[in-house]
Amino acid sequence: MSINSVDAINALNHFSAESDNGIITVTIDQSSRKMNVIGDGFTDSFAVMTDNFINDASAKGLILTSGKETFVVGADIDQLANIKTAEQAFELVEDLKASLRKLEKSGKPVVAAMTGTALGGGLELALACHYRIAIDSPKTKLGLPEVKLGLLPGGGGTQRLPRLVGIQSALELMTQGKELRLAAAKDMGLIDAVATDKADMFKQAKDWINANPSAQQPWDKKGFKIPGGDSKHPSIVPIFSIAPAMANQKSHGNYPAITHIMSCVFEGCLVDIDTGLELESRYFAACVLSAESRNMINTLWTQLNSIKKGQSRPDGFERYKTKKVGILGAGMMGAGIAYVTAKAGIDVVLLDTEMAGAEKGKSYSATILDKAISRKRSTEEKKQALLNRIKPTVFYEDLAECDLIIEAVFENREIKAKCTQQSEAVIPNTAVYASNTSTLPITGLAKASTRPNQFIGLHFFSPVDKMPLVEIIMGEQTDDATLAKAFDYVLQIGKTPIVVNDSRGFYTSRVFGTYVSEGVAMLGEGVHPRSIEVAGMKTGMPMPPLALQDEVSLSLALHVSEQQQLDMKAEGKPIAVRPSYEILKTLVKEHNREGKKNGKGFYEYADNGDKYLWPELMDLYPAKAEQPSQQDLIDRLMFIQANESAKCYQENVVRSVADTNIGSIFGWGFAPHQGGTLQFINAMGLEAFITRSRELVTQYGERFEPAQILLDMADKGEVFADD
């Protein structure tokens, strides 16, 4: 390549080039970002780079690589969120695909030298190269996860992937949004080689180019056949007969992108690749403009990023790095918190009443790490390093150097108060004290503290190592400095923080309770339990209400309800009893059905792991001859949650729309395709939500009366949005 052509590439934003005996290495490095993305300006620069490489007779091969620890991690989602028309969406992906197609048909060998993770458009870029090498690292992930935002791979993934690895493997990867580690990707045929480091990667790339001076994609060769057969092959036809039904069994029709991906692959694998690529662009446009992708991009991208950037964090405080955490209680929650804290490189003191309990809590981390080692996602050295950061103890004196205490003991005020007093006797004056309570108001618990301004709630979700959310609860006297430290700690351990103000049940427990309670109430009205559960799955919730109530325990729900009634009576407030209360009371106290933990709740739990609805439920609560429509049941389960969330927002329990939406999805699994509880209202329209709510009031009771804030916002033509 002439020096002028190298200069032309070097003149491009975020691209640099160098030549080595005719082999051109182009490095993508977007200086303003931590990771490379395919966004504004990328496609134009990539097109110029492609033309310069192809048109230079002295350039015999191209290595595409990254200046980051990752390769390219996909499209700029903000750019996709701004698309308004199908034409815009179509042209956006067609422009990039034209360059990729030109590159792979150039006749010159092109190698993707992947420095790390390649997702979405980044992997699609690599798929358009003739050879793919990745540096061996346990952090590296390869995948096409677009379906998780209601989208499909629009950079050629739905066409190149099945032609490379076969239709069945491609469908599994794309419809599930799987992200593969290198070993699995190599076994599948997604990459061709693994390198030990950058030097090895570039040597392998140059060796391959020298050994293959003219390159052609398999699908451009005469007589090419898709591995395993095309869409009409006898072994593939049954897949397309069964796959839509299997997908619908899991998604219940709530994710149209899954069907669009299947259609792309089915239709595209019956025609030549160029026609298939155009088909993909049309389906991509349909996905981008769907309500589901709009909801998910708005919440799971835009609002989630706002939270992570500190939208709910008070200004005026420097970022704080927690150094040592004392955890009181080594049960399931305490052990989980110890693991995620130590995993983040923070020292942990794990305190329990008995040394055996503290040691058992530490062993939880060992169990998780042993599984990771067996899957080659960790090493024995990393395991020992993490375990060395956890000190089990029974002595409060060992908390002396902790800058954060997290109390995770039984939900009992007296026990918690004693923990507070014993801890504050030894910890530094500057330390933050947090309670992991899920139900007890923080302001009340802080009365046991001599420094209530440094007392805060940190509500983790179980299992702690898998659940992404932490609900930070502000007591009446909690100060902003304490909030800032707590917020920074949550980010430090890789979780997503939402900030709520103190109230009974806080936000997540309060609204989650309405979902299971409504399902239980339906049973008492004579709705067939199977109809209740099917409606629950149709909403897009992770579990139906009766099964979910079994998981969290009927006896616990009854205990919480009775405790709340006592508290409200003591406060002189009117006692509000949910319709589900009497049913829970009957099952727990008269039939000893406490939920999954004792093998019997609304369901029977067999020793072999099977479960089925308790047959005698129909005797206790006979089904009425005339059953409500499925849409009525779905609406009741969704509207009760959305309306309660609006009340929380109205009462300033939640501080932002982003926290409300993300809290609902990450906290208790509110249907992700709806974009969260307040986005559900936005997408429906406030007027329509109010109208339907009033219909539900007429049929099912005052609890569906729309929150006052909805009426006020509808009058002003407003929607839920943060400034």
Question: Could you read off the pLDDT of 68-100 as tens digits, one per residue?
Answer: 999 999 999 999 999 999 999 999 999 999 999
Q: Which amino acid is at 334?
A: G
R_g of the chain, CA atoms, integer Å:
28
Residue 238 pLDDT: 93
To the query of whether residue 124 is one of the catalytic residues in this protein, the response is yes
Q: Which of 161, 41, 75, 59 is nearest to 110 (CA)?
A: 59
Q: Which region among 181-195, 233-247, 658-672 has the lowest average model confidence (pLDDT)?
A: 233-247
Q: What are phi and psi of 253, to 5 degrees?
A: 75, 10
Per the residue annotation, which of 94, 104, 124, 594 is the catalytic one?
A: 124
Q: Which amino acid is at 177?
A: G
Residue 504 pLDDT: 84
Question: Can you tell me whether residue 29 is helix, strand or coil?
Answer: coil
Write out 522-555 in H/E/C secondary structure.
HHHCCCCHHHHHHHHHHCCCCCCHHHHHHHHCHH
The answer to whether residues 90 and 190 touch, using CB atoms and an 8 Å cutoff, is no
Q: How far apart are CA 136 and CA 149, in angstroms?
A: 28
To the query of whether residue 75 is one of the catalytic residues in this protein, the response is yes
Tally of residues, the chain: 723
Residue 563 pLDDT: 78
Q: Which region among 204-208, 296-300, 570-574, 670-674 has the lowest average model confidence (pLDDT)?
A: 570-574
Quote the DSSP letter at residue 312: T
Domain segments of the chain: what residues? 5-289, 324-502, 509-716
Average pLDDT over residues 18-36: 95
Per the residue annotation, which of 74, 116, 120, 121 is the catalytic one?
A: 121
Average pLDDT over residues 187-216: 97
Q: What are the CA-CA distances from residue 160 to residues 278, 316, 408 (Å)?
A: 13, 50, 50
pLDDT in tens, 451-478: 999 999 999 999 999 999 999 999 999 9
pLDDT exceeding 90 applies to what percent of the chain? 89
5-289: CATH superfamily = 2-enoyl-CoA Hydratase; Chain A, domain 1 (3.90.226.10)
Q: How far apart are CA 442 and CA 477, in angstroms?
A: 10
Per the residue annotation, which of 8, 75, 126, 431 is the catalytic one?
A: 75
The answer to whether residues 64 and 111 touch, using CB atoms and an 8 Å cutoff, is yes
Q: Which of 461, 475, 468 is nearest to 491 (CA)?
A: 468
Residue 578: pLDDT band (50, 70, 90) is confident
Q: How far apart are CA 194 and CA 133, in angstroms?
A: 6
Residue 570: pLDDT band (50, 70, 90) is confident
- Higher pLDDT pick, 163 / 580: 163
Residue 4: pLDDT band (50, 70, 90) is low
Pair of tokens at residue 272: 């030549």
Residue 568: pLDDT band (50, 70, 90) is confident
pLDDT in tens, 351-404: 999 999 999 999 999 999 999 999 888 899 999 999 999 999 999 999 999 999
Q: Where are the alpha helices (DSSP H) in 178-272?
A: 182-188, 198-211, 237-251, 256-268
Residue 716: in which H helix or E strand, if any?
Answer: helix 708-716
Average pLDDT over residues 426-452: 95
Q: How far apart are CA 679 and CA 672, in angstroms?
A: 10
To the query of whether residue 121 is one of the catalytic residues in this protein, the response is yes
What order of strands is seen across the sheet that includes strand 390-393? 390-393, 347-351, 324-328, 404-407, 432-435, 455-460, 469-474, 496-501
DSSP string, 658-696: HHHHHHHHHHH---GGGTSHHHHHHHH-HHHHHHHHHHH
Q: How far apart are CA 3 and CA 431, in angstroms?
A: 61
Q: Where are the alpha helices (DSSP H) in 216-321?
A: 237-251, 256-268, 273-288, 291-297, 304-308
Average pLDDT over residues 102-124: 98
Q: How far apart are CA 522 and CA 390, in angstroms?
A: 47
Q: Which amino acid is at 542?
A: P
To the query of whether residue 354 is one of the catalytic residues in this protein, the response is no
The answer to whether residues 134 and 195 touch, using CB atoms and an 8 Å cutoff, is yes
Q: Which amino acid is at 150?
A: G
Asked if the model's pLDDT at residue 223 lies above 60, the reply is yes
Quote the DSSP letter at residue 621: S
Torsion of the alpha carbons at 138, 117, 542 and 680, rounded to the nearest 10 = 150
Q: How far apart are CA 287 and CA 236, in angstroms?
A: 25
To the nearest whole number, what is the mean pLDDT of the chain?
95
Residue 595: pLDDT band (50, 70, 90) is very high
Average pLDDT over residues 510-522: 96
Q: How far apart are CA 696 and CA 196, in angstroms?
A: 62
Per the residue annotation, which of 94, 104, 146, 179 is the catalytic one?
A: 146
The structure's pTM equals 0.91
The CATH classification of domain 509-716, taken from the options 1.10.1740.10, 3.40.47.10, 1.10.1040.50, 3.30.1330.10: 1.10.1040.50
Residue 69 pLDDT: 96
The answer to whether residues 295 and 255 touch, using CB atoms and an 8 Å cutoff, is no
Residue 2 pLDDT: 47
| Topology adopted by domain 324-502 | Rossmann fold (3.40.50)
Residue 16: in which H helix or E strand, if any?
Answer: strand 15-20
- The distance between the two most distant Cα atoms of the chain, rounded to a whole number of Å, is 87
Q: Which residues contact 288 (CB under 8 A, 6 or more apart)?
A: 80, 83, 89, 151
Question: Can you tell me whether residue 300 is helix, strand or coil?
Answer: helix
Q: How far apart are CA 143 and CA 546, in angstroms?
A: 35
